[in-house]
Homo-oligomer: A and B are copies of this chain.
């Protein structure tokens, strides 16, 4: 299996500049490799920030500090280290993060709480302070880079650079969003932590930005899974420079707030899908659509039980319309379900209705659908109005190849 580039990769889009946002990259040599591994993004004064972070209890210092600082709502800079997650490194790891914050804050003459740091890579090795100091010094003196270069630099085991862009109108003012993300799993702690960064020139309050980001996360980052393993460093940050000059948004009822939220949801979903498309060993992009649940949250849990089932994922990898495994996954989800009301389909074709296989079911078109790169799987629980969509990828030999031999 060729694992050098996911067959589900999308081309890197043309990304507009965002007024007040300047990316730069440098080499800190966190690993012994011939590539840039330190990304710096400078943000205009007054930039609003919001963030969502991993719920893994064993999270990194970066996540702990980021969670504290996002509460103050303002950002001047972002640093991303690739090759070392600095997680599970105790006080030494925390000192390295604080050193970077101090160094950048001094350069910008800003409070250090406005400097955000992320790290991704191996767990359990403290981020080397000397390499970090030299890398930060170098990056502050370098010229701005393209978004494509920044997307490459935050990556680790990613097989393609991931970016997305959308625009929206707030009143008669056009606003732009650009975003980059890395991850080859939501969910792979020592190699493919998911880190995402969204930049917009919109003028919004930090509180509004946080609410909008939290809402957008539900149907995007929290609706994907590659392997059910939750990273210690997952972070998504949204930065809004305010340079677009729109009437500032501070509340969901403000004119234009709907357009902003819709655009943010759009870009978050694009980013989330890109991560699944680079899922470790992925050969197929799978959309799981659950309807008829007692609530949306119940539908989400059923969808995740299906999307995390190794037996469902291997069946789809093998192009096998094995809906019995979907029955199993629904039944183990721990959510209300009634075997005799359950319907299951692939690619829009129902194979089982209300607890029984359809007598006239023809597997040919379903087998054809499963041969493709994009697979949809529909489950109707027949109980209520709850629905959810979850995205995942198949489970292949590639996943074993990558993960049985990563760190050593």
Contact = CB atoms under 8 A, between A and B. Distances in A.
A328 B230 contact: yes
Please classify the interface of chain A as helix (H, G, I), strand (E, B), loop, or mixed, using the class held by over half of its residues: loop
A183 to B, nearest CB: 14
Given A314-B400, A327-B232, A190 B322 contact: yes
B88 A310 contact: no
Interface residues of A, number: 65
Contact of A318 (B188, B320, B404): B404
A338 B90 CA distance: 12
B403 A310 contact: yes
A136 interface: no
Interface in A311-369: 311, 314-315, 317-320, 322-325, 327-332, 337-340, 342, 352, 355-357
B327 A87 contact: yes
B408 A330 contact: no
A218 interface: no
Interface string A376-404: 00000000000000000001110111011
B342 A58 contact: yes
Copies of this protein in the complex: 2
A76 to B, nearest CB: 29
Given A337-B57, A356-B88, A356-B90, A328 B232 contact: yes
A290 to B, nearest CB: 15
Nearest to A55: B332
A58 B231 contact: no
A400 B406 contact: no
Interface string A182-206: 0000001110000000000000000
Contacts of A330: 57-58
B404 A328 contact: no
Contact of A229 (B190, B328, B408): B328
A235 interface: no
A307 to B, nearest CB: 13
Most B-side CB within 10 Å, residue of A59, A311, A322 = A311
Given A318-B404, A397-B397, A400-B400, A227 B310 contact: yes
5 contacts: A59-B339, A124-B324, A124-B352, A228-B309, A322-B407
Interface of A: 55-59, 85, 87-90, 92, 122-125, 188-190, 227-232, 308-311, 314-315, 317-320, 322-325, 327-332, 337-340, 342, 352, 355-357, 395-397, 399-401, 403-408
